[in-house]
Amino acid sequence: MAKPSKLVPPLLIVAIRIPMNSSVSILCNPHASGWDRCRDDLERSASERGHDLVKLDPDDHWLDQIRNNSPQRLCIFGGDGTLSKVVQKLDHEKMLDRFELGLIPGGTGNDFARSIGMHGLPWRDAYATATEQPATPIDLIDIRNGSAHLIINAATAGFGGLVSGEVSSADKQRWGSMAYWITAVTHLTSLPKYSLELTFQDDTQAKFEVFGLAVASGRYVGGGFPVAPEATVNDGLLDVTVVPVMPVSELLAAGVDTTFGWYHESGRIATFTARWVRVESTPPLPYSLDGETEQSDGVEFSVRPAAMRVACHSEAVGVQSPGAFQTATQP
């Protein structure tokens, strides 16, 4: 039974340096916001350690290169969207279980990177952690709504799906982790309301009138807003956060409650954990699936436990220990 709980631009392949039989390949998104700033450091670090450095491309030639070189680990330089695209492609090619993965944050939001402890690290620490830290089994989210999707971090819907791409850099600097929520509140007068029905794996149902919801494996969306403050990326569970219809003052307060972890006491936000949930809505909800927008009136979400192996920082707040993971996923 569900327990109250606690959504890339086209990319060009260039092999900058290709030492044969390297155990690590660095896959780079040259369109990531940090590429110009970090390119020299990437090339220097890869050269010093004998790592392959490959640019991602829209024709997926990078897949041929990693097939030929057979590295043990793929480290992605870019944001959450880049990582999500690489994971989706590897899964489609039945190659996801062949590699360990690392993430060197180079995007703007870096929300998944925050959960695994990679956001904000000094450059050398980020590179060393991504390439050398032991890999941890991490969950993924399978989504079905007429077509199949695979995401790494979170699906946001309703106002979350509408504003995910609208949080400006200036707002992030001004409001910090609350920027996402405040951007949503500024849309309040035009926000549609949705009649929502959630059905969990044991046929338990819950109905709400909502502004939005999130189904997450990671903790953060919108550049650091903790939409699922207690989520861990390897507990074998989805964290479902429901934002009911409420006045603007209450919605602002709900954002503060969530940011500071007070939402259990306030009761403004409804949260659940589950391995599977179906979301049905009237009218259809706009979704952001790891940043990719879509609209649907009926979506099924299921967790895919331990679906990929990722290097996580030893002090990551959104990662359980391997022992805790095994306990959580045992029937």
Active site residues: 292
Tokens 């436990």 appear where? 305
- What lies within 8 Å, CB to CB, of 122 at 6+ separation is none
Euclidean distance between CA atoms 181 and 175, whole angstroms: 9
Tokens 């879509």 appear where? 294
Residue type, 265: E
The H or E element spanning position 45 is: helix 35-49
Check whether the bond before 283 is cis (ω within 30° of 0). Answer: yes
User: Is the Cβ–Cβ distance between 160 and 214 less than 8 Å?
Assistant: yes
Euclidean distance between CA atoms 128 and 260, whole angstroms: 31
Residue type, 290: D
Phi, psi for 153 (deg, rounded to 5): -120, -70
Query: For the chain, where are the E strands, in sequence order?
Result: 3-4, 15-17, 24-28, 52-55, 73-78, 100-105, 135-144, 148-151, 154-158, 194-200, 205-216, 238-244, 270-274, 276-289, 292-311
